[in-house]
Amino acid sequence: MPGLLLGDEIPNFEADTTIGRIKFHDFLGNSWGILFSHPRDFTPVCTTELARAAKISNEFKKRGVKMIALSIDSVADHNSWSKDVMAVSKKADTDLPFPIIADDKRELSVQLGMLDPDEKDKDGMPLTARCVFVIGPDKKLKLSILYPATTGRNFDELLRVIDSLQLTAQKKVATPVDWKPGDKVMVIPSLSDAEAASLFPNGVTTEEVPSGKKYLRYTQI
């Protein structure tokens, strides 16, 4: 079955985009990357998503994350749609700050498992779902989210998960429910108490639970 699993290497595909033809690994370089797909150009939800993505593109840049979108229309359509997007983003005089892949033959969408079988175009062909891939500097898939065409994504949540992915790639911690940067994090279960004590100089606190098991360990980093 086509598609990508966590830990898989993202294929080094070639594609036409609004910044010319790219080889994906070269585009990424040594950076983190986020690839997000859209059902179609000139559609309402997609336009609000791209406008929001454009508005907060500096937040992705600050985190060293290269952004790239994908939709199943041509480069010419993408260029024209980008002007609408930037107008909706209230920055009509600037270019869309990230490229859009033109997957008009749907080859990449099939290869990456991005199609939504419930949403069809006027010819009965499936549209792309709202797929998000976050890729690490090692070109491996760190996170994937798949929304149907009818539900727009939350780009604040994407920044939040990137913060968690980047933190947990560096430190032996995990982020609990609704975590945001600055909140306490959890010590991962594979660390012994002695290892945790030496790794986390700010100390480790353990929440008591009825089982008496000491697995809810928090630290501040």
Catalytic positions? 46, 138
Q: Dihedral, CA atoms, 14, 16, 19, 24, nearest 10 degrees?
A: -20
Q: What residues contact 187, with CB distance under 8 A and at least 6 apart?
A: 172, 173, 174, 196, 200, 204, 217, 218, 219
Q: Report the residue number, 40 or 172, with the smaller CB distance to ligand BEZ.
A: 40
Residues 155 and 153: their CA atoms lie apart, in Å, by 6
Q: Cβ of residue 53: shortest distance to ligand BEZ, in angstroms?
A: 13
Q: Report the residue number, 121 or 138, with the smaller CB distance to ligand BEZ.
A: 121
Applying CB under 6 A, the span of 42-50, 58-66, 164-172, 213-221 interacting with ligand BEZ comes to 42-50
Applying CB under 6 A, the span of 24-32, 36-44, 189-197, 209-217 interacting with ligand BEZ comes to 36-44
Applying CB under 6 A, the span of 43-51, 65-73, 93-101, 134-142 interacting with ligand BEZ comes to 43-51
Note whether 84 binds ligand BEZ by CB under 6 A.
no
Q: What residues contact 71, with CB distance under 8 A and at least 6 apart?
A: 37, 38, 39, 40, 41, 46, 78, 81, 100, 101, 102, 103, 128
Tokens 């030496």 appear where? 198
Q: Which residues does residue 146 pair with via DSSP β-bridges, in sequence order? A: 131
Q: Report the residue number, 54 or 196, with the smaller CB distance to ligand BEZ.
A: 54
Q: Cβ of residue 160: shortest distance to ligand BEZ, in angstroms?
A: 23
Fill in the DSSP letter of residue 103.
-
Tokens 């790239």 appear where? 68
Residue list 153-212, contact with ligand BEZ (CB under 6 A): none
Q: Which of 19, 22, 25, 45 binds ligand BEZ (CB under 6 A)?
A: 45
